Structure 1
Amino acid sequence: MRQPPIRRYDEDRVDGVCQDVGNAVDAASLGIGAWDEVPAMLSNAFPGSFAGLWNMSFTESRLNFQSWANVDPAFARSYAEHFAYVNPWSAYWNTARNGLVALSEDVSPARLYAKTEFYNDWLLPQRDAEAAAGLKLVGNRGETILFVLHFPLSVAEEYGHAAAHVLRHIRTGLGRSITLAGVMQAQTEDAMTAAALVERGRCAAFVVEGNRRVREANKLADHLFSSGRAVLVRNDRCFIVDPEADVQFASTLDKLSRGVNADDAKLFFRTSSGAWRVVMTALPAIVAPSSTSHLLPPRQLVLILVTELLPTADTTDLSVLKALAGLTHAEIAFCRRLMHGDSVTDAAEQLGIAVETARTRLKSIFQKTQTSRQGQLMLFLSRLR
């Protein structure tokens, strides 16, 4: 049964709410409580309201975390799946300063959005709770953490000022928890990155975030960056020097950083100085030892391995493939084109054969070299230097 609203919030009552919500934040930060208890504690202190705590990357249009109190589970799911991305208040919160506490009736009343999908299909069906008070904090990756209480317009004056006081009171503690969690998370990621690179001394290896930012690199990768022969680093972000390969690199990196399997996690390209192979692998996402990491989800890091297939043109003697694997002269010529970075189609054109003939020839080469994919074949050939 819905509780009637409280019409008066005196100093003692507000101080009690501040204490309860602050304790819930501290408990969640220390791992002895759940983040679901934080919006629940706030909402329960204001009968007839509902509260939400969520983490949104506005620049990437991605909801990282959400927790709702007094909201039907179906509406919570629909918010994560759709309404978080059409919420008209996002424009206001995206530009608001870090630490801001605001009342919707003062800065952006719900009636301004009366014709929007969000207002009619998500907010109104909840209950009479069009007014809101909210707190914005910025996470360690620039994402926005919002803590919002919705309540009826009929009690906007009483609830609004009291809720704003509570949000200002817990602002420092919540911000401190987020900062600490970010530091712990970065330390965990750094340890994982170092472990991924420790045994990668034979090729250029580096770890990047989904936005191309280089987190760590081995010495060979540093030399590769400095030479600019295959990979460039600008403003701490990496780029493949070949434009077409860079497009494929960006697409694959985006998939891997979002936890999506990528069949094209290997790419080949050539430059004026040689041919190159790039292998991309998503590192395991490790949650930092703090429940705050649920509010700040682990970042997906990607390991990049770059191998030079042909240091200088025509220096690799592929004739050994005749004795080693029984390849014909035509098949060896085909391998040489692949070592130069040609695609199957390009190799067919260079050798004056049909594409279907080239594909048949590649299958024969796979069988004779006991490989099954072009990436495996390139690695096999690269060891013949």
Structure 2
Amino acid sequence: MPSPAPPEDPLIACLHRAALDPAGWQDFVLALEQGLGCAKASIHGVAERSGAPFLSVAGSFDAAFARSYLAHFHRINPFVPLSAAMSPGRARMSPMDLPDDALRRTEFYNDWLRPQEDLAIAVAVRSRPHADRSLVLSLNLRRRDGERAASRAQRLLDRLEPHLSHAFQVAEIISALSLGGGRAEAGGGGGLMMVDDGLSLIWADDGAAAQDGRVFRLDPFRKVIFQNGAMQDWARAACRSPGGAGRPPPVFRAADGWQIRLAQPGDGICLPSPFFGGHSFSRPRMLFLLSRAAGEPSRIPGLRSRFGLTPAEAEIARAIAQGLTTAEIAMARQTSLHTVRNQIRSVLGKMEARHRIDVARILAQDRS
């Protein structure tokens, strides 16, 4: 009979999927914890230039402790400089670099590690870099499990490192390609982005990609973090219930003029990537339109002259760009659904737009 599969085989399979699907990194971390049975795992992204890692995937750490880490404890974590200085390719145990008596005297140990089952021993491995970025995979083990468990974890991470490095490098290449093959000039009017239900970026066109660092930022695993906290809350709610009860309004408008809309299936958007027809993504996908809010009423003469719109059609175009539904436009204009539908068809035809999203993109580009 064939020998049973070594314990790392399922973990390697998770890493192969993580190379294509950002959600796979969390699945890998949880599978790693389950396989060891005595550790909590996390993955940090490390920028080679700054050398400062930060929390990206938190495994099964208690959510309150994870939030406290981001709010405070990452600044006093004695393992942070050790991770930044770690050579790639070989796992290390924390007692090799930080004696236990020194760790016990730290606030980080007493207030963060000790209350969590006394997670006193850390085992970590750093991936080989791609460009100027790499990963640090860390395991925190309970003190009572001792260095024997740490030695087992170290051997496992050594065997996983080539697969971890390969998965990270492939993910970085795909991420670069997924950003539309290039960036629009800074200050563009926005565009389309696709995320999974954890807000990890799958794809963005040039217009949306140009807003990286301005309207939103990305962590090493392409998780989208909007600069506007209320917009971030809206996006999370949209991902949690894209089509069900409790979903947020279809459009969020920020005070600075930016707005984000959850595109619906009926919007008929054509997505220019071979990935979208496949089955490599394990979690639901959402499509957001990021744009500048439609301009002031003084822009209506410009719309009319450029596209030959009537005054009513120019107003309809602005309402479409704001993300209003047909029913909402009819209510706002105190007219019938039939009239609004006819006006929308006329606007699409005159603006040579295939669907509503095109109207919003045209107006956003016109504003920028």
Q: Whose radius of gyration is greater, 1 or 2?
A: 1
